[in-house]
Amino acid sequence: QFSYLYDDQISHFRAGGRVPLGLKNKRLRVLVTGGAGFVGSHLVDRLIARGDSVIVVDNFFTGRKENLVQHFTSHRLELIRHDVVEPILLEVDQIYHLACPASPVHYKYNPTNVMGTLNMLGLAKRVGARFLLTSTSEVYGDPLEHPQTETYWGNVNPIGVRSCYDEGKRTAETLTMDYHRGLNLEVRIARIFNTYGPRMCTDDGRVVSNFVAQALRKEPLTVYGDGKQTRSFQYVSDLVEGLMRLMEGEHVGPFNLGNPGEFTMLELAKVVQDTIDPNAKIEFRPNTEDDPHKRKPDISRAKELLGWEPTVSLRDGLPRMVSDFRQRIFGDEKETVG
């Protein structure tokens, strides 16, 4: 029953401890749901580099095996094709729950946020694992407070086109806190702000991936609305560092994890032009319904309690995803043509 644990962890468990103490320097068995996706695969890289054994559960809805191919020869990775909406039995020490159709073009498709989170909480309860939920800045909706602190309750339309994502994550937070309070489960909640980097889907409709792919293909950058709405863009390695500090730390959260550098979509387009193609054109399109006007994290809490803050600016981070996008876009197109 304890086969996956190391001796000191076994004695800790036998003495009635739930999650092994001193996690930092121990080898753990970690479940990453959604680990074949953009953020998840970068997290898996770090966990495996640290020496953990990682189980990835993913239904490949938006994730890709290619994101994890570098670990296929490693005995530390186990990859399971499974939809978290269905129950699953596994034995693990920690659960990073990322599985979720996370982009506007995908997220209306299924009830992952509620059913998937419930199943992973049930699993965490059964094995006494520590559970980390990746929630989102979308829980603040179209915020009436700026920048957003974790104490702000949000301004969300319950029946809009984005609601299944926003309200799904809000429900996931509620479930997580209920399991924490009612069953004493160890939980952590991260509210992630817009994140970009290598391995993002090239076609999931998010603004950074759209602009980068468009600039590379010599297509106009599609700015929705007047382009004056703002977002704050975080490079993926900063996020992964924040998620791991949160998991290992002693605080439940929620914690905003994001880069406070705030840009309008027109300013973002300018950074993309400067980075890829100064001649890239801009084309205005109608905006989507319920689009939040501005978004910027207040990260004081994460700074103080996790000792965390982002280190990569948009101008430094963007070039790091361009070569990955170039290779995937032109590689894929060559394959299609051939």
* Contacting residues toward ligand UDP, per CB under 6 A: 87-89, 104, 118-119, 122-123, 125-126, 194, 206-207, 210, 222-224, 229, 231, 265, 287-288, 291
- Which is the catalytic residue, given 96, 165, 179, 196? 165
The binding site for ligand NAD (CB under 6 A) comprises 33-34, 36-40, 57-63, 83-85, 98-102, 112, 116, 134, 136, 192, 194-195
Q: How far is the CB of 246 from ligand UDP (least distance, A)?
A: 21
Nearer residue to ligand NAD within complex by CB, 20 or 35? 35
Nearer residue to ligand UDP within complex by CB, 118 or 164? 118
Active site annotation includes 109: no
- Among ligand NAD, ligand UDP, none, the one that 317 touches (CB under a kind-dependent 5 to 8 A) is none
- Among ligand UDP, ligand NAD, none, the one that 37 touches (CB under a kind-dependent 5 to 8 A) is ligand NAD
Q: How far is the CB of 130 from ligand UDP (least distance, A)?
A: 15
Q: How far is the CB of 229 from ligand UDP (least distance, A)?
A: 4
Q: How far is the CB of 5 from ligand NAD (least distance, A)?
A: 26
- Among ligand UDP, ligand NAD, none, the one that 203 touches (CB under a kind-dependent 5 to 8 A) is none
- Among ligand UDP, ligand NAD, none, the one that 271 touches (CB under a kind-dependent 5 to 8 A) is none
Nearer residue to ligand NAD within complex by CB, 47 or 192? 192
Do residues 294 and 229 make contact, with C-beta atoms less than 8 angstroms apart?
A: yes
Q: Give the separation between CA 233 and CA 192, rounded to whole angstroms.
A: 10
Residues noted as catalytic: 165
